[in-house]
Structure 1
Amino acid sequence: MKIIKTILVATTLLALTFVGQASEWRALDPENTVLLTLPHGKVVIELAPQFSPNHVKQFIKLTREGHYNGASFYRVIDGFVAQGGPKDGSPLDKATKKLVLEGEFSVDENFTFTQVQTNDMFVEQTGFKEGFALGYNSKEQKAWMLHCPGVIAMARQTGADTATSHFYITIGQATRYLDRLMTVFGRVVYGMEHVQAIRRTEVVEGDTPVDPKYYTRMLSVQVMSDVAPSERINIEVSRTDTETYRNKIADRRTRDNAFFFKKPPPVLDICQTPVKSRRVK
């Protein structure tokens, strides 16, 4: 009897351990996840309708109508962005509804997020909300998504409310000077190496321009829920609202490791604070 009790206790503890581990991860909603297939690999993008609802809605609509299939990344600048979409002046480009900028959103006094840094170079506070990097201004009671590497945002013309269908993915350093000026509506959670491999279209002055026929094309862009289950790429991401994640941020800020024999300042750039992803069956 004693042995049986011991086994039951051990089994219970093991089960609780697995539950605790599972709670550190969040499964993506296939209705708000996009599968981008490039000639050299697949990319998974998590969309953020909670922060940019109208841009996400239009992007999903255009995706389901097949408008991105075969489109090119025509403006790809090393260390900056990979921008693509339907050809300028195309019937789709002319007919698509122009979107009101969703560069920021209002919050109330109950707004919470996992704070990363105060007195950030661009904003009062930075932090994570549901895995997305945000800036926050308590006096304005506004928050916004940040231009960290790997985010997807909608391109626009000079006017603030002129975005339609073209989008870009940041492929270099954080372009934080674009925060609040553009609408970020998602981020790459899988396959960033394939995004980085998109053919650059900008060349050194005096060099031969890249022929458009060599631009990287989007073989297909699909909402993950529309993909056959056997072909889906199922991703989970680290939850950023747990004590475990807060401790990771604290450890990263203090750099309490023998490698750092000279301690860097105790600051933490949110764009250098990755949210981990993992592939699951």
Structure 2
Amino acid sequence: MLKKLLTSLVTAGIILASSQTLAETQWRTVSPDNLMVMTLPHGKVVFELASQFSPKHVAHFKALAASGHYDGNKFYRVIDGFVAQAGPDESAPENKDKKSQTIAMESEWSLVKSPKITPVQSPDLFAEQTGFSGGFALASDSEANKAWLTHCPGVLALARGNEPNSGSSHFYITNGQAPRYLDRIMTIFGRVVYGMPHVQAITRTAVIEGEAPVDKADFTPIVNMALMPSLPASEQLVIQVEDTESAAFAKKLVDRRDRSHAFFYKKPPPVLDVCQVPVASRIVPANIDKG
């Protein structure tokens, strides 16, 4: 039974930690009020929203989704190995009512006010220290007394213009390598916990030189964006993610840094990139013990 469950989760696109068994992993049930479901023509994507780090952005995003702001929007800037960006084409007549107010940045916060952080690497290429808190990868600088979320694959962030506080409703999902140079200058407010294969299947809009441009009619649309509790009961999912504050996760970090498996006949240096640490997630029956 367990083997069948594992197989189905992998098939569904749930990330599982290869170095741990299901029994060794400690889980945290995500509040449904913190799960946003984006329905695409080819499947669903579920975001865990980072309300503990970017509360104003999360509230803004929830309000926009509830108003139907994103329904029918298209992913108009999709670059392989970088981001998939979506938002309303505000020049289109059908979107004349889809303009949104701008929101001030929430790209960093006081380190002394941070919740518990499980450390990963010090120093990091982009920061003094990296770690995890509540399932989210972050970095910090003790001298500056600042902490911030990092641009690992699968994060959800608000797009903006050149001015820092110019973001409104357009958002992006990192779909490839970690563009860490965007850390601290963009506001991350969530991450994909289910459906990353569906993100990867979003039609690329950037083409190589010599190819015909992608027709806007072929851009991938957002069918619907809705908070989990607003969906019909039959469509709601209970999602658990790896508890990054647990002893089991700390052990996982040590194992990934040491690379003690026999496969590594030549040992890599004991360096651990925070964006190379997958945080496992799984769908569970609604009546499971959520402790």
Displacement after TM superposition at 1:235 (Å): 0.8
Moved over 2 A (4+): 88-94, 109-112
**1:48–1:185 Cα contact (<8 Å) kept:** yes
- Hey, what does 1:147 align to over in structure 2? 151
Displacement after TM superposition at 1:32 (Å): 1.1
- Hey, what does 1:24 align to over in structure 2? 26
Displacement after TM superposition at 1:108 (Å): 1.3
Give 1 or 2 for the bigger CA radius of gyration. 1
Tell me if 1:199 matches 2:195.
Answer: no
Q: Secondary structure at the match of 1:63?
A: helix
Q: TM-score, normalised by structure 2?
A: 0.86
Aligned-partner Cα distance in 1 for 2:28–2:97: 36
Equivalent position to 2:173, from 165, 169, 194? 169
Q: Secondary structure at the match of 1:108?
A: helix
1:155-198 deviation line (CA, Å, top 9, x unaligned): 00110000000000000100000000100000000110000000
Q: 1:256 to 1:78 in 2, by over 3 A?
A: same
Displacement after TM superposition at 1:109 (Å): 7.3
List alignment gaps of at least 5 residues for structure 2: 1-22, 286-291
- Hey, what does 1:259 align to over in structure 2? 263
**2:164–2:185 Cα contact (<8 Å) kept:** yes
- Hey, what does 2:62 align to over in structure 1? 60
Aligned-partner Cα distance in 2 for 1:126–1:274: 14
Q: Secondary structure at the match of 1:245?
A: helix
1:142-167 deviation line (CA, Å, top 9, x unaligned): 11000000000000011000000000
Aligned-partner Cα distance in 2 for 1:135–1:99: 23
Aligned-partner Cα distance in 1 for 2:182–2:106: 13
Tell me if 1:156 matches 2:170.
Answer: no
List alignment gaps of at least 5 residues for structure 1: 1-20
Aligned-partner Cα distance in 2 for 1:104–1:110: 10
Q: TM-score, normalised by structure 1?
A: 0.89
**2:121–2:273 Cα contact (<8 Å) kept:** yes
Aligned-partner Cα distance in 1 for 2:41–2:115: 42
Tell me if 1:280 matches 2:290.
Answer: no
Aligned 1:118-133 pairs, distance under 5 A: 118-133=122-137
Equivalent position to 1:234, from 217, 224, 238? 238
Aligned-partner Cα distance in 1 for 2:280–2:67: 31
- Hey, what does 1:16 align to over in structure 2? none
- Hey, what does 1:13 align to over in structure 2? none
Displacement after TM superposition at 1:112 (Å): 3.3
Displacement after TM superposition at 1:107 (Å): 2.5
Q: After alignment, is 80-89 or 159-168 more displaced?
A: 80-89
Q: Secondary structure at the match of 2:251?
A: helix
Aligned residue identity for 2:69? H
Aligned-partner Cα distance in 1 for 2:34–2:246: 23
**1:109–1:141 Cα contact (<8 Å) kept:** no
Aligned residue identity for 2:74? S
- Hey, what does 1:220 align to over in structure 2? 224
Aligned residue identity for 1:69? D
Aligned-partner Cα distance in 1 for 2:97–2:278: 36
Displacement after TM superposition at 1:63 (Å): 0.2
Displacement after TM superposition at 1:111 (Å): 5.4
Q: 1:75 to 1:115 in 2, by over 3 A?
A: same
Q: Secondary structure at the match of 1:199?
A: coil
Q: Aligned-residue CA RMSD in angstroms?
A: 1.7
**1:125–1:135 Cα contact (<8 Å) kept:** yes
Equivalent position to 2:96, from 79, 83, 91? 91
1:204-229 deviation line (CA, Å, top 9, x unaligned): 12321111110001111110011112
Q: After alignment, is 84-93 or 265-274 more displaced?
A: 84-93
Displacement after TM superposition at 1:233 (Å): 2.1
**2:85–2:171 Cα contact (<8 Å) kept:** yes
Equivalenced residue count is 261
Aligned-partner Cα distance in 2 for 1:48–1:22: 26
